[in-house]
Structure 1
Amino acid sequence: MPSGKTHTSLNLFALPFLLFLLISYGFTSWGFLLWFCGGFIAGTYFLSPDLDTRSTPYRAWGPLRVLWYPYQVIMPHRSPLTHMPIIGDVLRVLYFVCVSIPIVHVLDTYVYDVNVKEILMRYKSELVIIFFGIVTASTLHIMVDIMNTKRKRLWKKRRK
Protein backbone atom coordinates (compact mmCIF):
# COMPACT_ATOMS: atom_id res chain seq x y z
CA MET A 1 0.00 0.00 0.00
CA PRO A 2 1.39 3.44 -0.87
CA SER A 3 2.15 5.82 1.98
CA GLY A 4 -0.10 8.73 2.84
CA LYS A 5 2.44 11.12 1.33
CA THR A 6 2.35 9.16 -1.93
CA HIS A 7 -1.46 9.31 -2.04
CA THR A 8 -1.43 13.03 -1.34
CA SER A 9 1.27 13.71 -3.95
CA LEU A 10 -0.50 11.66 -6.62
CA ASN A 11 -3.83 13.34 -5.93
CA LEU A 12 -2.31 16.82 -6.08
CA PHE A 13 -0.42 15.88 -9.25
CA ALA A 14 -3.68 14.64 -10.84
CA LEU A 15 -5.76 17.70 -9.91
CA PRO A 16 -4.65 19.94 -12.83
CA PHE A 17 -5.35 17.10 -15.27
CA LEU A 18 -8.79 16.56 -13.76
CA LEU A 19 -9.52 20.27 -14.04
CA PHE A 20 -8.41 20.18 -17.68
CA LEU A 21 -10.80 17.25 -18.29
CA LEU A 22 -13.68 19.03 -16.58
CA ILE A 23 -13.07 22.18 -18.62
CA SER A 24 -12.80 20.19 -21.85
CA TYR A 25 -16.15 18.54 -21.08
CA GLY A 26 -17.78 21.94 -20.68
CA PHE A 27 -17.58 22.54 -16.94
CA THR A 28 -16.17 26.03 -17.35
CA SER A 29 -17.83 27.82 -14.44
CA TRP A 30 -15.20 29.15 -12.06
CA GLY A 31 -17.61 28.54 -9.20
CA PHE A 32 -17.98 24.87 -10.12
CA LEU A 33 -14.24 24.40 -10.52
CA LEU A 34 -13.44 26.10 -7.19
CA TRP A 35 -16.04 24.08 -5.26
CA PHE A 36 -14.79 20.90 -6.95
CA CYS A 37 -11.18 21.75 -5.97
CA GLY A 38 -12.30 22.39 -2.41
CA GLY A 39 -14.01 19.02 -2.24
CA PHE A 40 -11.06 17.29 -3.90
CA ILE A 41 -8.60 18.80 -1.43
CA ALA A 42 -10.90 17.96 1.50
CA GLY A 43 -11.16 14.41 0.16
CA THR A 44 -7.38 14.19 -0.14
CA TYR A 45 -6.39 15.68 3.21
CA PHE A 46 -9.35 15.09 5.55
CA LEU A 47 -11.89 12.56 4.20
CA SER A 48 -9.57 9.94 2.76
CA PRO A 49 -10.48 6.23 2.68
CA ASP A 50 -7.57 5.74 5.11
CA LEU A 51 -9.47 7.39 7.98
CA ASP A 52 -10.02 3.82 9.18
CA THR A 53 -6.38 3.77 10.37
CA ARG A 54 -4.10 6.16 12.26
CA SER A 55 -3.10 7.77 8.98
CA THR A 56 -2.03 11.20 7.80
CA PRO A 57 -5.67 12.27 7.14
CA TYR A 58 -6.58 11.07 10.64
CA ARG A 59 -3.78 13.16 12.16
CA ALA A 60 -4.72 16.14 9.96
CA TRP A 61 -7.87 16.55 12.05
CA GLY A 62 -5.69 17.64 14.97
CA PRO A 63 -7.57 17.61 18.27
CA LEU A 64 -10.81 16.80 16.43
CA ARG A 65 -9.41 13.42 15.37
CA VAL A 66 -11.08 11.93 18.45
CA LEU A 67 -14.30 12.23 16.44
CA TRP A 68 -12.92 9.59 14.05
CA TYR A 69 -11.88 7.03 16.68
CA PRO A 70 -15.30 5.26 16.73
CA TYR A 71 -15.16 5.13 12.93
CA GLN A 72 -11.78 3.38 13.13
CA VAL A 73 -13.13 0.86 15.63
CA ILE A 74 -16.22 0.09 13.53
CA MET A 75 -14.67 0.01 10.06
CA PRO A 76 -12.13 -2.67 9.13
CA HIS A 77 -9.24 -1.33 7.05
CA ARG A 78 -9.65 -1.58 3.27
CA SER A 79 -13.11 -3.06 3.58
CA PRO A 80 -15.72 -2.32 0.89
CA LEU A 81 -17.31 0.06 3.37
CA THR A 82 -14.23 2.28 3.38
CA HIS A 83 -12.47 1.55 0.10
CA MET A 84 -15.32 1.55 -2.40
CA PRO A 85 -16.03 4.68 -4.43
CA ILE A 86 -19.24 6.51 -3.52
CA ILE A 87 -20.31 4.01 -0.81
CA GLY A 88 -17.25 4.72 1.33
CA ASP A 89 -17.60 8.45 0.71
CA VAL A 90 -21.28 8.48 1.61
CA LEU A 91 -20.54 6.57 4.81
CA ARG A 92 -17.65 8.89 5.77
CA VAL A 93 -19.69 12.05 5.11
CA LEU A 94 -22.76 10.65 6.91
CA TYR A 95 -20.60 9.62 9.85
CA PHE A 96 -19.06 13.10 9.99
CA VAL A 97 -22.49 14.75 9.80
CA CYS A 98 -23.89 12.53 12.57
CA VAL A 99 -20.91 13.19 14.84
CA SER A 100 -21.02 16.93 14.06
CA ILE A 101 -24.75 17.44 14.69
CA PRO A 102 -24.43 17.92 18.49
CA ILE A 103 -21.50 20.31 18.06
CA VAL A 104 -23.27 22.31 15.35
CA HIS A 105 -26.47 22.37 17.41
CA VAL A 106 -24.67 23.81 20.46
CA LEU A 107 -22.86 26.38 18.32
CA ASP A 108 -26.08 27.24 16.48
CA THR A 109 -28.12 27.59 19.65
CA TYR A 110 -25.72 29.22 22.10
CA VAL A 111 -22.88 30.83 20.15
CA TYR A 112 -24.18 31.87 16.75
CA ASP A 113 -27.67 32.92 15.85
CA VAL A 114 -27.95 31.29 12.42
CA ASN A 115 -30.14 28.62 10.95
CA VAL A 116 -27.75 25.89 9.74
CA LYS A 117 -30.52 24.02 7.91
CA GLU A 118 -31.38 27.16 5.92
CA ILE A 119 -27.71 27.67 5.00
CA LEU A 120 -27.37 24.05 3.88
CA MET A 121 -30.48 24.34 1.70
CA ARG A 122 -29.23 27.57 0.16
CA TYR A 123 -25.92 25.92 -0.84
CA LYS A 124 -27.14 22.42 -1.74
CA SER A 125 -25.80 22.54 -5.31
CA GLU A 126 -22.38 23.61 -4.02
CA LEU A 127 -22.47 20.77 -1.48
CA VAL A 128 -23.15 18.30 -4.29
CA ILE A 129 -20.13 19.65 -6.22
CA ILE A 130 -17.97 19.38 -3.07
CA PHE A 131 -19.13 15.78 -2.64
CA PHE A 132 -18.22 15.12 -6.29
CA GLY A 133 -14.70 16.39 -5.53
CA ILE A 134 -14.46 14.17 -2.44
CA VAL A 135 -15.58 11.12 -4.45
CA THR A 136 -13.04 11.88 -7.18
CA ALA A 137 -10.18 12.18 -4.67
CA SER A 138 -11.07 8.94 -2.91
CA THR A 139 -11.58 7.10 -6.21
CA LEU A 140 -8.04 8.07 -7.21
CA HIS A 141 -6.81 6.89 -3.81
CA ILE A 142 -8.58 3.54 -4.22
CA MET A 143 -7.30 3.09 -7.79
CA VAL A 144 -3.72 3.63 -6.60
CA ASP A 145 -4.25 1.08 -3.80
CA ILE A 146 -5.60 -1.49 -6.28
CA MET A 147 -2.81 -0.91 -8.81
CA ASN A 148 -0.16 -1.17 -6.10
CA THR A 149 -1.65 -4.42 -4.77
CA LYS A 150 -1.72 -5.91 -8.27
CA ARG A 151 1.86 -4.79 -8.86
CA LYS A 152 2.99 -6.50 -5.66
CA ARG A 153 1.19 -9.72 -6.60
CA LEU A 154 2.78 -9.72 -10.05
CA TRP A 155 6.20 -9.13 -8.51
CA LYS A 156 5.71 -12.05 -6.13
CA LYS A 157 4.73 -14.37 -9.00
CA ARG A 158 7.79 -13.38 -11.00
CA ARG A 159 10.14 -13.99 -8.07
CA LYS A 160 8.89 -17.58 -7.59
Structure 2
Amino acid sequence: MPSGRTHTRFNLLSLPVVICLLISYGMTSWGFLLWFAGGFVFGTYFLTPDLDTVSSAYRNWGPLRIIWRPYRAVMPHRSFLTHTIVLGDVIRLLYLFVMFLPFLYILNVQILDGALPGLVRAHKPLLGAAVLGIFTTSALHIILDTLNTKRKRMFRSKKSRR
Protein backbone atom coordinates (compact mmCIF):
# COMPACT_ATOMS: atom_id res chain seq x y z
CA MET A 1 0.00 0.00 0.00
CA PRO A 2 1.44 3.42 -0.90
CA SER A 3 2.48 5.71 1.92
CA GLY A 4 0.53 8.82 2.86
CA ARG A 5 3.25 10.92 1.28
CA THR A 6 2.89 8.99 -1.99
CA HIS A 7 -0.89 9.49 -1.97
CA THR A 8 -0.47 13.22 -1.32
CA ARG A 9 2.13 13.63 -4.06
CA PHE A 10 0.05 11.61 -6.54
CA ASN A 11 -3.08 13.65 -5.81
CA LEU A 12 -1.32 17.00 -6.05
CA LEU A 13 0.32 16.02 -9.34
CA SER A 14 -3.08 14.85 -10.61
CA LEU A 15 -4.87 18.11 -9.76
CA PRO A 16 -3.73 20.06 -12.86
CA VAL A 17 -4.64 17.10 -15.07
CA VAL A 18 -8.09 16.84 -13.50
CA ILE A 19 -8.64 20.61 -13.83
CA CYS A 20 -7.65 20.43 -17.52
CA LEU A 21 -10.08 17.53 -18.02
CA LEU A 22 -12.88 19.51 -16.36
CA ILE A 23 -12.16 22.51 -18.60
CA SER A 24 -12.09 20.28 -21.68
CA TYR A 25 -15.54 18.96 -20.71
CA GLY A 26 -16.91 22.50 -20.49
CA MET A 27 -16.54 23.25 -16.78
CA THR A 28 -15.06 26.71 -17.32
CA SER A 29 -16.56 28.58 -14.36
CA TRP A 30 -13.71 29.91 -12.23
CA GLY A 31 -15.91 29.63 -9.13
CA PHE A 32 -16.59 25.96 -9.82
CA LEU A 33 -12.93 25.23 -10.56
CA LEU A 34 -11.70 27.04 -7.42
CA TRP A 35 -14.19 25.30 -5.14
CA PHE A 36 -13.40 21.97 -6.80
CA ALA A 37 -9.67 22.56 -6.26
CA GLY A 38 -10.33 23.59 -2.65
CA GLY A 39 -12.29 20.38 -2.03
CA PHE A 40 -9.58 18.42 -3.81
CA VAL A 41 -6.84 19.85 -1.57
CA PHE A 42 -8.99 19.45 1.57
CA GLY A 43 -9.70 15.85 0.60
CA THR A 44 -6.01 15.20 -0.05
CA TYR A 45 -4.80 16.54 3.28
CA PHE A 46 -7.72 16.05 5.67
CA LEU A 47 -10.40 13.67 4.44
CA THR A 48 -8.68 10.60 3.00
CA PRO A 49 -9.88 7.01 3.26
CA ASP A 50 -6.96 6.41 5.65
CA LEU A 51 -8.56 8.33 8.52
CA ASP A 52 -9.31 4.88 9.95
CA THR A 53 -5.60 4.66 10.94
CA VAL A 54 -3.03 6.97 12.49
CA SER A 55 -2.17 8.42 9.10
CA SER A 56 -0.77 11.70 7.87
CA ALA A 57 -4.34 12.93 7.26
CA TYR A 58 -5.23 12.03 10.85
CA ARG A 59 -2.18 13.95 12.12
CA ASN A 60 -3.00 16.94 9.88
CA TRP A 61 -6.07 17.60 12.00
CA GLY A 62 -3.76 18.63 14.85
CA PRO A 63 -5.64 19.00 18.15
CA LEU A 64 -8.95 18.41 16.34
CA ARG A 65 -7.90 14.87 15.44
CA ILE A 66 -9.65 13.74 18.62
CA ILE A 67 -12.91 13.89 16.66
CA TRP A 68 -11.68 11.02 14.48
CA ARG A 69 -10.99 8.58 17.36
CA PRO A 70 -14.53 7.12 17.42
CA TYR A 71 -14.39 6.77 13.63
CA ARG A 72 -11.07 4.90 13.88
CA ALA A 73 -12.45 2.66 16.61
CA VAL A 74 -15.46 1.61 14.52
CA MET A 75 -14.01 1.44 10.99
CA PRO A 76 -11.61 -1.39 10.12
CA HIS A 77 -8.78 -0.31 7.84
CA ARG A 78 -9.42 -0.68 4.10
CA SER A 79 -12.93 -1.93 4.74
CA PHE A 80 -15.83 -1.60 2.33
CA LEU A 81 -17.08 1.36 4.38
CA THR A 82 -13.85 3.37 4.13
CA HIS A 83 -12.29 2.39 0.81
CA THR A 84 -15.29 2.49 -1.51
CA ILE A 85 -15.64 5.34 -3.97
CA VAL A 86 -18.51 7.66 -2.98
CA LEU A 87 -19.79 5.52 -0.06
CA GLY A 88 -16.65 6.08 2.02
CA ASP A 89 -16.75 9.82 1.31
CA VAL A 90 -20.42 10.11 2.18
CA ILE A 91 -19.77 8.35 5.49
CA ARG A 92 -16.78 10.61 6.29
CA LEU A 93 -18.64 13.80 5.31
CA LEU A 94 -21.71 12.82 7.35
CA TYR A 95 -19.49 11.93 10.29
CA LEU A 96 -17.68 15.27 10.03
CA PHE A 97 -21.02 17.10 9.77
CA VAL A 98 -22.33 15.38 12.91
CA MET A 99 -19.12 16.14 14.81
CA PHE A 100 -19.30 19.84 13.87
CA LEU A 101 -23.08 20.13 14.32
CA PRO A 102 -22.83 21.87 17.73
CA PHE A 103 -20.40 24.42 16.27
CA LEU A 104 -22.62 24.94 13.21
CA TYR A 105 -25.65 25.44 15.46
CA ILE A 106 -23.84 28.10 17.50
CA LEU A 107 -22.54 29.74 14.33
CA ASN A 108 -26.03 29.82 12.85
CA VAL A 109 -27.81 31.11 15.97
CA GLN A 110 -25.25 33.44 17.52
CA ILE A 111 -23.33 34.87 14.56
CA LEU A 112 -25.43 34.44 11.42
CA ASP A 113 -28.87 35.01 13.00
CA GLY A 114 -30.33 31.90 11.37
CA ALA A 115 -28.98 32.64 7.88
CA LEU A 116 -26.82 29.50 7.51
CA PRO A 117 -29.44 27.37 5.68
CA GLY A 118 -30.00 30.22 3.21
CA LEU A 119 -26.25 30.58 2.63
CA VAL A 120 -25.95 26.85 2.00
CA ARG A 121 -28.85 26.94 -0.49
CA ALA A 122 -27.39 29.97 -2.26
CA HIS A 123 -23.99 28.33 -2.63
CA LYS A 124 -25.16 24.76 -3.28
CA PRO A 125 -23.43 24.47 -6.71
CA LEU A 126 -20.10 25.62 -5.25
CA LEU A 127 -20.42 23.33 -2.24
CA GLY A 128 -21.22 20.53 -4.69
CA ALA A 129 -18.02 21.33 -6.57
CA ALA A 130 -16.03 21.06 -3.32
CA VAL A 131 -17.68 17.72 -2.52
CA LEU A 132 -16.87 16.53 -6.04
CA GLY A 133 -13.23 17.49 -5.41
CA ILE A 134 -13.25 15.44 -2.20
CA PHE A 135 -14.80 12.46 -4.04
CA THR A 136 -12.13 12.75 -6.76
CA THR A 137 -9.23 12.64 -4.28
CA SER A 138 -10.73 9.62 -2.59
CA ALA A 139 -11.20 7.87 -5.94
CA LEU A 140 -7.56 8.53 -6.84
CA HIS A 141 -6.50 7.21 -3.41
CA ILE A 142 -8.51 4.01 -3.82
CA ILE A 143 -7.33 3.51 -7.42
CA LEU A 144 -3.70 3.91 -6.33
CA ASP A 145 -4.21 1.43 -3.46
CA THR A 146 -5.85 -1.08 -5.83
CA LEU A 147 -3.15 -0.77 -8.50
CA ASN A 148 -0.40 -1.15 -5.91
CA THR A 149 -2.05 -4.24 -4.41
CA LYS A 150 -2.43 -5.83 -7.86
CA ARG A 151 1.20 -5.01 -8.68
CA LYS A 152 2.38 -6.68 -5.48
CA ARG A 153 0.26 -9.77 -6.14
CA MET A 154 1.54 -10.00 -9.70
CA PHE A 155 5.20 -9.88 -8.63
CA ARG A 156 4.55 -12.22 -5.70
CA SER A 157 3.02 -14.84 -8.00
CA LYS A 158 5.98 -14.58 -10.42
CA LYS A 159 8.43 -15.14 -7.56
CA SER A 160 6.52 -18.17 -6.27
CA ARG A 161 6.66 -19.82 -9.73
CA ARG A 162 10.43 -19.87 -9.71
Q: Distance in 2 between matches of 1:62 and 1:109?
A: 27
Matched residue SS, 1:82: coil
Aligned to 1:46: 46
Q: Distance in 2 between matches of 1:5 and 1:16?
A: 18
TM-aligned CA deviation for residue 138 of structure 1: 0.4
TM-score normalized by the length of structure 1 = 0.95
Q: Distance in 1 between matches of 2:71 and 2:127?
A: 22
Aligned to 1:18: 18
Stretches of structure 2 that go unaligned for 5 or more consecutive residues are: none
Matched residue SS, 1:47: coil
Misfit runs of 4+, over 6 Å: none
Which amino acid letter does the alignment assign opposite residue 4 of structure 2? G
TM-aligned CA deviation for residue 118 of structure 1: 2.2
Listed one character per residue, the Cα deviations across residues 63-87 of structure 1 (whole Å, up to 9, x for unaligned) are 1110111111111110111000100
TM-aligned CA deviation for residue 123 of structure 1: 1.2
Is 1:102 the counterpart of 2:80? The answer is: no
Q: Distance in 2 between matches of 1:150 and 1:103?
A: 43
Q: Distance in 1 between matches of 2:103 and 2:72?
A: 20
TM-aligned CA deviation for residue 103 of structure 1: 2.0
Aligned CA RMSD, in angstroms, stands at 1.1
Q: Distance in 2 between matches of 1:73 and 1:98?
A: 17
Which amino acid letter does the alignment assign opposite residue 133 of structure 1? G
Aligned to 1:129: 129
Matched residue SS, 1:84: coil
TM-aligned CA deviation for residue 100 of structure 1: 0.6
Aligned to 2:140: 140
Listed one character per residue, the Cα deviations across residues 82-133 of structure 1 (whole Å, up to 9, x for unaligned) are 00010000000000001110122234444x2443222212211111111100
Matched residue SS, 2:70: helix
Superposed, 1:56-135 pairs within 5 Å as 56-110=56-110, 112-114=111-113, 115-135=115-135
Stretches of structure 1 that go unaligned for 5 or more consecutive residues are: none
Q: Distance in 1 between matches of 2:35 and 2:74?
A: 30
Matched residue SS, 2:2: coil
Identity %: 52
Matched residue SS, 1:79: coil
Which amino acid letter does the alignment assign opposite residue 67 of structure 1? I
Q: Distance in 1 between matches of 2:105 and 2:36?
A: 27
